[in-house]
Amino acid sequence: MKRYFQNTFVFVRENPAILFSLALIVVIPLALYFYVSFTVQSFENAAINEIEAHDFTVSDTLLAMVERDFPAKDAAHPEALQKTIDRIVANDTRLKNIRVIVKDGRDYKTIAAQNRDQVGMSVDVTPSLNGESLIAYSWVNASEDVSSEIEIAGEKLRRVIKVFVGEDGEVYALAAADFSINRTLDMIAGGVYQSYLIMGVIMILSLFLIVQHARLFSYVGLSKDLQQKNTAKDNFIRMATHELRAPVTVLTGYTDLLKEDLAGTVDADQQKYIDRMVLSVKNLSDLMADILEVSHLEQGRTDFEPEIIAPDIVVKEIVDGLAAKAEQKGLKLSFDAKGFSHKIRVNPVCFKRIVTNLVENSIKYTPAGKVAVTVAAQTAKKRCAITIQDTGFGISAEGQAHLFEQFYRVKTQENAEIPGTGLGLWMSREMARKMGGDIMLESIEKMGSKFFIFFPLSNKN
Ligand SMILES: Nc1ncnc2c1ncn2[C@@H]1O[C@H](COP(=O)(O)OP(=O)(O)OP(=O)(O)O)[C@@H](O)[C@H]1O
Ligand SMILES: [Mg+2]
C-alpha cells in the first residue's frame, strides 16, 4: 500500500500536468452542478411568481363579485351572486369551484356556487378532506386571505379564499375559487428534468474527455520509456559496431591477403571456400555500416544540413564511379542529363548515398543488359527526377508492396545468391523524404525496374 502511494507520488511529481486533469475532474462537474442548480432555482422562482400573480387576479375577481352582490351581512343577493359566478366561469375557463359561503350556526353553508348542486348544502370542513378545512381556518383567521396548494383526485390546484368582514368586525362571508396549476407544475418538472438530464450528459461527456486526457499521460510515460529503450538500443548498437569494427577490418585485410597469396595454389573447392569467406566478411562489414546508419536515422541524428547542388554533376560522378562494377558484370551503364541546368537543395552526403544505393541495386539485380541513369527537370511539378532503369529481375507486385520495409529482400531463386541486408531502400526513402523528396518505382517481373528519385527544384540557381 505504502509502495503504491510512493509510486503515485513519484508519477505525479514527474508529470505535474496530471494535477490539472485531476482538478478538472473535480471542478468541471462542480461548476456544472452549481450552474444548473442556480438556473433551475431561478426558473422555479419565476414560475411560482407567475402563480402568485394569478392568485391576486382571482382574489380581485372574488372581491369585486361579493362587494357588489353581498356588500354587508344580511344583504346577500344569492341569485345575483350565482349570475356573476356563471359569467365569470364563462370568461375564465381556468377557474373551478367558485363558491360563496356563509356560516349558519355551527355549519358552513354554500349560498352560490359554480357547481349548482352545492348551493344550499353545508361544507364538510373535517381536516382530512382536501382543502375544505381551509374554509374553517379562514373564517377564524379573518385578517389574512389564504392561497394554498391543494390536490383533488390527483389534480394539483391552487385555492384562493377571500374573507369578508362586516362593519361590526365580524366575518360574514367567504368566497373561494380554485384554479389548476397542473400544467405549470408539469412545465416546471419538465424543465428541471431536462436541465438535470443535460447536466448528466455533459458531466459524463466531460468526465470521459478528462479520463481520455489523463490516459494521454500513460502514453507520455510509455513514450518516455520507449525513448529510453531506444537510446539504450542506440548505445548498444554503437558500442557493438565500434567493438566489431576492429576485428572485421583485420578479417577483411587478412582474407583479401589470403585470397591474393593463395591464388593459383589452391584447388577449385578451396578457392570457392576462400571466395565465400571474403564475401561473408564484406557482408558483415556492410551490415554493420547499414545498422549504424539505420540507428542514426531512427534517432534523428543523421545530418540533413542542406546545400544547393547541381544534381546532374553529382549523379554523373556516381555513375562514373560505378562504371567499373557494371563493366565487370558486362552491363552497359549509361548516363543522360541533356538540357538539365537546375539546382536542388539537399544534404550532399545523403543525396549521394541515395543515388548510389539505387544505382548499385540496379547493377546488383541485373544479370545482363543495361542500366540507364537520367536526370531531368519536371518543370510543371517544379521537381527534379532522377531515373534509374535496368533490364534486371524486376520486382513482383507483392515484392513492391514490401520493398521499402526494413530487412525486406525479394525472395527469388536469382536473388538468393546476391548478398545484401535489405536496408538500402528503406534508408534511401527515409533520407529522401526527410529532405522533401521521395522515391517511387515501376517494375515488371523478369523485365526490369525503373526507380524514380524526386526532389524539389531550388529557386536559387
Ligand atoms: N533494381 C532492382 N531490381 C530488382 N530487385 C531489386 C532492385 N532493387 C532492389 N531490389 C530488391 O529489393 C530488395 C531490397 O533492396 P535494398 O536495397 O533495400 O536491400 P539490399 O539490396 O538487399 O541490401 P542493401 O541493404 O545492402 O542495399 C532487394 O533485396 C532486391 O530483392
Ligand atoms: Mg541495396
217 and 167 in a single domain? The answer is no
Give domain status of residue 2, yes or no.
Answer: no
> Which cell numbers hold the place of 284?
558483415
Among protein residues, the one with the nearest Cα to ligand 1's atom 8 is 361
Confidence of residue 128 (pLDDT cuts 50, 70, 90): low
Rounded distance, CA 177 to CA 185, Å?
Answer: 19
Query: Which residue do the cell numbers 360563496 mark?
Result: 100
Residue 415, ligand 1, Cβ within 6 A: yes
Give domain status of residue 245, yes or no.
Answer: yes
Q: What are phi and psi of 97, to 5 degrees?
A: 55, 45
364 and 405 in a single domain? The answer is yes
**Which domain, by its residues, includes 264?**
189-286
Q: Count, in order, helices (H) and strands (E) of the chain.
A: 11, 12
167 and 25 in a single domain? The answer is yes
Cβ burial, residue 459 (10 Å; 0-12/13-18/19+) = exposed
Question: Which of 150, 180, 210 is where one domain is finished?
Answer: 180
Residue 359, ligand 1, Cβ within 6 A: no
Residue 354, ligand 1, Cβ within 6 A: no
Give domain status of residue 384, yes or no.
Answer: yes
142 and 273 in a single domain? The answer is no
Question: Which of 180, 197, 212 is where one domain is finished?
Answer: 180
How many angstroms does the Cα of residue 367 sit away from the middle of ligand 2? 15
> Which cell numbers hold the place of 209?
474527455
What does 372-409 look like in DSSP terms, one character per residue?
A: EEEEEEETTTTEEEEEEEE-S----HHHHHHTTSTT--
CA 322 to chain centre: 52
Give domain status of residue 299, yes or no.
Answer: no
- The answer to which of 268-277, 336-345, 422-431 has the lowest mean pLDDT is 268-277
Mutate to test the pocket of ligand 1, among 371, 391, 418, 425 (most ligand atoms within 8 A of CB): 425
Contact 160, 65 (CB under 8 A): no
CA 208 to chain centre: 11
In eight-state DSSP terms, residue 129 is S
Tens digits of per-residue pLDDT, 31-72? 888 988 898 888 888 888 888 888 888 888 888 888 888 888
Query: 133 pLDDT exceeds 80?
Result: yes
176 and 195 in a single domain? The answer is no
Tens digits of per-residue pLDDT, 382-411? 999 999 999 999 999 999 999 999 999 998
Average pLDDT rounded to a whole number, residues 233-261: 85
26 and 171 in a single domain? The answer is yes
Work out how many domains the chain is built from and give that number: 3
